[in-house]
Amino acid sequence: SQTIHQWPATLVQPVGSPLSLECTVEGTSNPNLYWYRQAAGRGLQLLFYSIGIDQISSEVPQNLSASRPQDRQFILSSKKLLLSDSGFYLCAWSINMNTEAFFGQGTRLTVV
Amino acid sequence: DQQVKQNSPSLSVQEGRISILNCDYTNSMFDYFLWYKKYPAEGPTFLISISSIKDKNEDGRFTVFLNKSAKHLSLHIVPSQPGDSAVYFCAATRSGAGSYQLTFGKGTKLSVIP
């Protein structure tokens, strides 16, 4: 069966520090991978999606970047965090574009 | 512009009664709709979906209704249970090449009162 792992679960980082959140998927090949953010009072906003290794699309301009160095690994990064980067970050995968997406447990990021 | 709207941020229902969560969308290109359930500090879990070729899909206690002309869908939970208390997200997407994005609403927090 397929599983998705996302870590860390919580993170407190100072403003200006770098960020690296990692997500891996097991039990499937060539999944579509996604990074979402849920900010306070908002829904789930798609940040990045990837249909293959080194193929990343950004949905909104921001202080973040994503990379997919391996088929089942998706990394969310920032060189310098801003206070506004605080939120709940979710990694997800899907088999193809129009099926349901399966989410990881999320990372609660607090930038102080 | 918010393409998927859940206008009720919260809903309280007595245990055993019906919970009805509503969702409206504006993009007529959307043809596949999903409901997710989310507990605090966890990722959303998929509940049920419906294609635009249908107007109803049922799975146990959960039924989703789609009214394409009104661009409206709803999730019915019958009977409601305390364990159903969570935030419910409506999501929509469109078929076809190049469409990867699930567009989510802001969610409705359901509280089922024992």
pLDDT in the model for residue B93? 87
In the predicted structure, residue B95 carries a pLDDT above the cut 80: no
Three-point CA angle B1, A38, B78, nearest 5°:
90
Q: What is the arithmetic mean of pLDDT over A85-108?
A: 87
- Taking the CA of residue B30 and the nearest CA in chain A, the distance in Å comes to 11
- Taking the CA of residue B94 and the nearest CA in chain A, the distance in Å comes to 7
Q: What is the arithmetic mean of pLDDT over A33-43?
A: 83
Q: Do B41 and A59 touch (CB under 8 A)?
A: no
pLDDT in the model for residue B100? 61
In the predicted structure, residue B94 carries a pLDDT above the cut 90: no
Mean pLDDT of chain B: 92
CA pair distance B107, B22, nearest whole angstrom: 10
Ramachandran quadrant class, A12 (left: phi over 0; alpha: psi -120 to 50; beta: rest): beta
Tell me what percent of the residues of chain B surpass a pLDDT of 70: 95
In the predicted structure, residue B47 carries a pLDDT above the cut 60: yes
Distance set, CA A29 to CA A7, A26, B6, B95 (Å): 21, 8, 34, 22
In the predicted structure, residue A19 carries a pLDDT above the cut 80: yes
In the predicted structure, residue A95 carries a pLDDT above the cut 90: no
- Taking the CA of residue A91 and the nearest CA in chain B, the distance in Å comes to 8
pLDDT in the model for residue A26? 94
Q: What is the arithmetic mean of pLDDT over A34-41?
A: 84
**Test the A interface: residue of B32, B102, B103, B104 with most A CBs within 10 Å:** B102
Q: What is the arithmetic mean of pLDDT over B38-44?
A: 88
In the predicted structure, residue B97 carries a pLDDT above the cut 60: no
In the predicted structure, residue B84 carries a pLDDT above the cut 90: yes
DSSP per-residue letters across B65-111: EEETTTTEEEEEESS--GGG-EEEEEEEE--STT--PPEE---EEEE
